[in-house]
Amino acid sequence: MRSQDVQLGMLVRVSQLHRKLDYRGQTGVVQQRYGNVDYAAFDIQFLDGRSELFWHHEFDEVQEFTRSTDKPAYTL
């Protein structure tokens, strides 16, 4: 994912290859952007309340939709 494509409030999933095992595959919401727009770090808040900084290349957007409404299947 490109740094410029990340939006605050976006639902994301940490890469399965991330160096920290506890965060691999975890889903969270982008809360804040830090640094240059071309290479930024992002504060991700997870559903369990934890928060951690990640580089833009360490996660991908989650695009899960419900079948009945075609609206995002998540709420926070």
Task: Name the pLDDT band for 65 (thresholds 50, 70, 90).
Answer: low
DSSP 22: G
22 — phi, psi (to 5°)?
Answer: -60, -25
Q: Does residue 8 form part of some domain?
A: yes
DSSP characters for 23-58? GTT-EEEEEEEEEETTEEEEEEEETTS-EEEEEGGG
Q: How many domains does the chain have?
A: 1
Q: Does residue 72 form part of some domain?
A: no
Q: Between 39 and 71, name the one with better pLDDT.
A: 39
- What is d(CA 40, CA 56) in angstroms, rounded to the nearest whole number? 7
Q: Is the pLDDT of residue 66 over 50?
A: no
Looking at residue 25, its amino acid is G
Q: What is the pLDDT of residues 7-63, one digit of tens each?
A: 999 999 888 888 887 889 889 999 999 998 888 999 999 988 999 999 988 998 998
Q: What is the pLDDT of residue 21?
A: 79
Structural domain boundaries enclosing 43: 3-61
